[in-house]
Amino acid sequence: MLDGMEAFFRSLAEAFARNRSALPQAGALLLVLAVLAAAPVLAAAVRRRRAARARLRDLAERHGLSPGDLGLAARMAREVGASPLALLTRLGLFERATARTLAGAAAERATAPAIRRLRTSLGFDRLGPHDPLLTSRELSPGAPVTVQGRLAEVSEVEERSFTVELRGAARLRPGDSASLELEHAGEARYRLRCRVLGVRREGLGQAIRLEHDEAPERVQRRAFARVRADGALVLRPVALVSPDGAAPELRCDLLDASGGGARVASPGPLPAGTLATASFALAGWTFTDLRTVVLSSSRAADDRHVAHLAWTRIPEAERDRLAAAVAHLQPALAAEERSGRAR
């Protein structure tokens, strides 16, 4: 891109030199001003592009991604109009791109295994205890489920399908629609509708191969509804004091929030049990110095640390404001998800 910029400015200068006698003085001045105004913008774009390439290179080295993996990621990213870096660090984009890539690659038998290798390398095959289930591709072998009300267990998960094993027999044939339910992390129950691809006898029961559900229905079980969020959340640990006598600030990225707590991405690990105050904005409301405790902190696939916070001893009025902010965001987020699936 730098070579292109240099060529652009060189050709512009040559054109200006050839035509300067024909240009009115005012027009020449405007041309010079336009070039000077464009230069910082173009230079900033080059810096951003270089930084993105450096982050992508670092991520590839950290996760052991091959040139073939990066080529596949670029192809998948084009399916959803995203950058490869965004695809490799955002599970929601990765899932949407997976569905579209496989839908358009029926004849390419190597595509699904290649996506599974990429998913495993990124850690997207292992959901955290508080992460929502976006698609049945995120199920793990051994996970308990019910199929048509019968107890079963996930035995295998691939990119195009997954298999469950159950004792006894369910009255299902290829082409039928099967109803599945499962609990995830004790927070929610999920309902899935999956097309049956195959049924075979397995010991005293059946092994049923199912098409993935790209949008499992979540049945809320938490005491407080939780919504995705963004923006900054500033944590001030109450047990630490800086030299000026004030609590030090730790700037985190807000990932989701509820009337009971929040999930944030922090630049480093946060020890469980840390007491702090949190300040952030949600749906236009500002919340200042809410008392919180760190429940857990773990490293995510993108190498950030994700911490789960719980509000402690906050006034009922503030909890009501939080609940109102969450309720305000829920319809907009639901509409956004529906739009994304339609695209």
For every residue of 247-312, DSSP letters joined together read PP-EEEEEEEEESSEEEEEESS---TT-EEEEEEEETTEEEEEEEEEEEEEEE-TTS-EEEEEEE-
Higher pLDDT, residue 42 or 2: 42
CB 325 within 8 A of CB 225: no
pLDDT tens digits, residue range 130-158?
A: 677 889 999 989 888 999 988 899 999 99
Topology of 226-342 in CATH? Thrombin, subunit H (2.40.10)
| Residue 240 three-state SS | coil
**The pLDDT value given to residue 271:** 86
CB 252 within 8 A of CB 234: yes
Phi, psi of 19 (to 5 degrees): -115, 10
Q: Residue 4: is its pLDDT beyond 70?
A: no
**The pLDDT value given to residue 32:** 63
The percentage of the chain sitting over the pLDDT mark of 90, rounded to a whole number, equals 37
Report the chain's mean pLDDT, rounded to a whole number.
Answer: 81
The CATH classification of domain 136-220, taken from the options 3.40.50.2300, 2.40.50.140, 3.30.460.80, 2.40.10.220: 2.40.10.220
Confidence of residue 91 (pLDDT cuts 50, 70, 90): confident
Higher pLDDT, residue 107 or 201: 201
182-186, 212-216, 229-233: least confidently modelled range: 182-186
CB 91 within 8 A of CB 124: yes
How are beta strands 232-237 and 275-282 bridged, if at all? antiparallel
Q: Residue 74: is its pLDDT beyond 90?
A: yes
Higher pLDDT, residue 27 or 308: 308
CB 221 within 8 A of CB 189: yes
What is the C-alpha to C-alpha distance for residues 218 and 225, in angstroms, rounded to an integer? 11
DSSP 288-299: EEEEEEEEEEEE
Give me 52's structure tokens: 């993105």
Helix (H) / strand (E) containing 205: strand 205-211
Q: Residue 114: is its pLDDT beyond 80?
A: yes
Q: Which residues contact 199 (CB under 8 A, 6 or more apart)?
A: 172, 173, 174, 206, 207, 208, 209
Confidence of residue 245 (pLDDT cuts 50, 70, 90): low
Matching fold, domains 136-220 and 226-342: yes
**The pLDDT value given to residue 110:** 86
Phi, psi of 210 (to 5 degrees): -125, 145
What is the C-alpha to C-alpha distance for residues 3 and 1, in angstroms, rounded to an integer? 5
Q: Residue 215: is its pLDDT beyond 80?
A: yes
Nearest Cα to 340, choosing from 73, 124, 82, 84?
Answer: 82
Q: Residue 16: is its pLDDT beyond 80?
A: no
Confidence of residue 103 (pLDDT cuts 50, 70, 90): confident
DSSP secondary structure letter of residue 239: T
Give me 311's structure tokens: 């509000």
Q: Which residues pair with 63 in a beta bridge?
A: none
What is the C-alpha to C-alpha distance for residues 99 and 157, in angstroms, rounded to an integer? 15
Nearest Cα to 302, choosing from 123, 34, 105, 47?
Answer: 123
Taking the domains of the chain in order of start, what are their residue ranges?
2-63, 67-122, 136-220, 226-342
What is the C-alpha to C-alpha distance for residues 283 and 332, in angstroms, rounded to an integer? 10
